[in-house]
Structure 1
Amino acid sequence: MRHRLPAARFETPPRRSVTLEEVAADFDVILLDAYNVLNVGETPIPGAAARIAALRAAGRAVMVVSNAAGYPKPVMMARYAQPGFDFARREVVTSRKALLTHLDGHAPRRWGTMLDRTHGLEDFGARDITILGDDPASYANAEGLLLIGSGLWNATRQRLLEEALARHPRPVLVGNPDIVAPREGGLSQEPCHYEHRLADRTGITPVFLGKPFRGIYEIALSRLPAPCPPGRALMVGDTLHTDILGGRHMGFAAALVPVSARSSGLMWRRPSPGPRSCPTSSSSGSESTAADHAAASPAGHRPLQLA
C-alpha cells in the first residue's frame, strides 16, 4: 500500500516526552486524533478533557482531526460533549467533512455507499446515495463508490464490490483512510482495509479523503483565527501511517502516543531547522514513511493517559 500514501520527510531523530504539556510550549496549534487519544470506541479516556482545558489556558489552539467519517457532525459533537469535552463545532474536523467538500466539486451521480445508516445521512443533502448491502443490482447500478463506514461490511459484500468494479471500473472515494481502529474489545477493520484489497484486485486508484492526505488538514488550518506556519503545528495521534505520516507530510511536528510495558509517553519529531515549507514527493532529502521509523517507537500500544 506504500505507493498509495503521501511522501514525508523525517530529518531529525525522535525525542521522548512523558506528557503533551512538556512539548506544547513549542507550538501554537495542537491537532489531536480522536481514537486512542480522546476516546477508545465510545469510551472517553479519563482526564483528557482536563488536559485539553489546560492547553487552552496556556494559549494553545486545540483542534480534533479525525477519520471518523461514519458519524454526522451533530453526532460527533454530542459524543464529545457528554464526557465533558467543550469543543466548538469549528474545532472538530472529520474526514466526512473532507469527503463532502470533495463531493461539492463532483458532478452528480448515483453513489453506492459502504456505510451504516444508523446515524443518518442528512448532511449528504440531495445527493443520490444507495447503501450497499447484499443486492448485486445496487453495485451494478452505482456510478461511483463511497467507502465511509465498515461496521456492517462483510466478505460477501466485499466480493460483490470487487466483482462489480472488475466488470465496470468507476470512481472510488474513500472517506475513512483508517485500516483499523481501537475499540473496547479490540481492533475493528475500517474502510481502508477493504479498499487496499479492492485496489490490489481491480487496479482502480481511489481518491482518499482524510488523514494522512492533505485535504483534511487544510480544512482544519482554514478554521484557525490566524495563519499557522507548519513548524508551529503539532499533530498528536496513535497511528504511524495516518497521524504521524500525515503530520510530517504537511510539515508539522508529529507526536506518537504509544504506551507499553517498557516505556511510556510521547515519541515526537519536530521539523528540522530551516524554511517552514510543506514537503512533497518531489522534495529533496530523505523521504520515508512513518512505518519506516516504527523501530524508534515502543512496541505495543494502549490509550494515552493525558491526565
Structure 2
Amino acid sequence: MTTSESLSAVHDLMPPTPRWAFSEYERIRHRLPRRSPLATTRPPSVYHSLDGLTALFDAFVFDAFGVLNTGDRPLPNAVFRFAELQKAGKRCLILSNAATASTRDLVAKYRRFGFAIEPEQLICSRWLLEQALAENPRQGLWGVIAPPHARPETLPVNALAIHGNADRSLRERMDRCDGFLFLSTQDWTRSHQSILEASLSSYPRPLEVANPDLVAPRGDRLTLEPGFFAHQLVDRTGITPVFYGKPYTPAFEAAMARLGNPDPDRVLMVGDTLHTDILGGQSAGMSTLLVTEHGALKGLDAGRCMERSGIFPTYQAPAI
C-alpha cells in the first residue's frame, strides 16, 4: 500500500476538518489536563505578529506544525522570526509532538528549512518516550506502531514492529505483545485499527502514545494522528493509555528544565491548537500566543472556539 492510499484509507475512517477536530478535542476534554485556575478568562490581546511581544519575554517555546511549518515546508516569515529572536538574545525552543523521526533527524529537518537550531533546542514526543523507557525499563515484548523508516528497533525496549498487511499474521503478532507503543499513523488504516482493537479487547494491555495529537496540518489538509486512534481505543476497550507530549505535564516540565527553569511568566508558548499548545502552556504557568492562519483553527472563528472551550490565550495573532 502506498502512502497516499494509506492516508486515503485513514481519512475514510473520519475525514478530518478543523471544525471536526475542535469538536473532537471538546469530546475528549475530560481526559486532558485541567485549565489552570490562574489562566485568563478574557479574550486575548490581538497582534499582527510576534513582533510586538518580543520585549516582554525572555524565552519562547514554539509548537512546530502550524506555527513554524506545515508538512515539509516552513511557513512564511517563520525562519526570519526565529533568527531575529535568537539574535536578540532570546531563548528559543521547539516543543513538538512529532514521534516518527528521531531528535537528530528532526534537527536536520529544521536546519534544512533554514532554522539555526542546536539539538538542545528541540524536544519531541519521541524523545520524551525514549527518556521514560530508559528511566523505567519495560518488561516483555512491546509492539511498536510505526513505519520501518521510524527505526522502532532503536527504542530502549524489546520491540516488535507492528506494520504491514492487516491480516491474520498481524493479529498474531499483536497478540504476542505485552504492550504497545504508538508512534505514527503512517500506513495505519481502519483495518489495522480494528485488529488492534480486537486484540486489546480480548486481553487489555498497556498502550503508550508518543504523539497525543488528534490531527496535524500537513500542506493544505489535516491528517489523523495517534491521539485520535488512542482515544478511539479508550472509548471501545476501556484501556487507559499513557500519553507523552502536549498538553501533558511532562512535556512542559522538560521544556522548562531545558530553558533553565526560568520564571514561567517570562516564557511565551506559541501554538496553533487551543487544547494542546495553549491549554498545556497555561497549565505550566506560561503566557500563551495562539496563531490562527495555518494550523488547527484555520478557517474557523477563533473567538467562538475560545468561548466554547473556555480556553483563552493571552495573545492572538495570525502567524508569528
Are residue 114 (structure 1) and residue 145 (structure 2) matched? Answer: yes
For 2:139, the aligned partner's letter is P
Tell me the residue number matched to 1:89. 119
For 2:140, the aligned partner's letter is R
With over 3 angstroms needed to count, the CA separation of the structure-2 counterparts of 1:152 and 1:218, relative to structure 1, is same
Tell me the residue number matched to 1:272. none
State how far apart, in whole Å, the 1-side matches of 2:117 and 2:318 are. Answer: 19
Counterparts of residues 1-307 of structure 1 (less than 5 Å)? 1-9=28-36, 10-13=39-42, 14-104=44-134, 105-121=136-152, 123-125=154-156, 127-133=158-164, 134=166, 135-224=170-259, 226-259=260-293, 292-293=309-310, 305-306=319-320
State how far apart, in whole Å, the 2-side matches of 1:296 and 1:144 are. Answer: 37
Q: Which runs of 5+ in 2 are unaligned?
A: 1-27
Shift, 1:46, TM fit: 2.6
Query: What do the CA deviations read for 1:251-270 (whole angstroms, capped 9, x no partner)?
Result: 1111110139xx99xx89xx
State how far apart, in whole Å, the 1-side matches of 2:144 and 2:236 are. Answer: 19
CA contact 1:244–1:290 (8 Å) conserved in 2: no
State how far apart, in whole Å, the 1-side matches of 2:286 and 2:160 are. Answer: 36
CA contact 2:268–2:289 (8 Å) conserved in 1: yes
CA contact 1:132–1:138 (8 Å) conserved in 2: no
CA contact 2:184–2:226 (8 Å) conserved in 1: yes
With over 3 angstroms needed to count, the CA separation of the structure-2 counterparts of 1:291 and 1:221, relative to structure 1, is farther
Query: What do the CA deviations read for 1:34-78 (whole angstroms, capped 9, x no partner)?
Result: 001111001111321111111112221000000011111221111
Shift, 1:83, TM fit: 2.0
State how far apart, in whole Å, the 2-side matches of 1:115 and 1:128 are. Answer: 11
Shift, 1:186, TM fit: 0.6
For 1:292, the aligned partner's letter is S
Report the count of equivalent residues: 278
- Residue 56 of structure 2 aligns to a residue whose secondary structure is coil
Tell me the residue number matched to 2:3. none
With over 3 angstroms needed to count, the CA separation of the structure-2 counterparts of 1:116 and 1:291, relative to structure 1, is farther
User: Percent identity at matched positions?
Assistant: 36
State how far apart, in whole Å, the 1-side matches of 2:153 and 2:191 are. Answer: 28
CA contact 1:231–1:252 (8 Å) conserved in 2: yes
Tell me the residue number matched to 1:275. none
Shift, 1:227, TM fit: 2.5
With over 3 angstroms needed to count, the CA separation of the structure-2 counterparts of 1:142 and 1:95, relative to structure 1, is same
- Residue 22 of structure 1 aligns to a residue whose secondary structure is helix
Shift, 1:295, TM fit: 8.7
Shift, 1:296, TM fit: 8.7
Shift, 1:290, TM fit: 8.9
Query: What do the CA deviations read for 1:157-215 (whole angstroms, capped 9, x no partner)?
Result: 10011111111011110100000000114110000111111100011111110000011
For 1:198, the aligned partner's letter is L
State how far apart, in whole Å, the 1-side matches of 2:160 and 2:203 are. Answer: 19
Bigger drift between 8-17 and 154-163 goes to 8-17
CA contact 1:110–1:130 (8 Å) conserved in 2: no
For 1:87, the aligned partner's letter is I
State how far apart, in whole Å, the 2-side matches of 1:55 and 1:102 are. Answer: 31
Q: TM-score, normalised by structure 2?
A: 0.80
Q: TM-score, normalised by structure 1?
A: 0.83
- Residue 82 of structure 1 aligns to a residue whose secondary structure is helix
With over 3 angstroms needed to count, the CA separation of the structure-2 counterparts of 1:296 and 1:232, relative to structure 1, is closer
State how far apart, in whole Å, the 1-side matches of 2:239 and 2:89 are. Answer: 45
Bigger drift between 115-124 and 226-235 goes to 115-124
- Residue 94 of structure 2 aligns to a residue whose secondary structure is strand
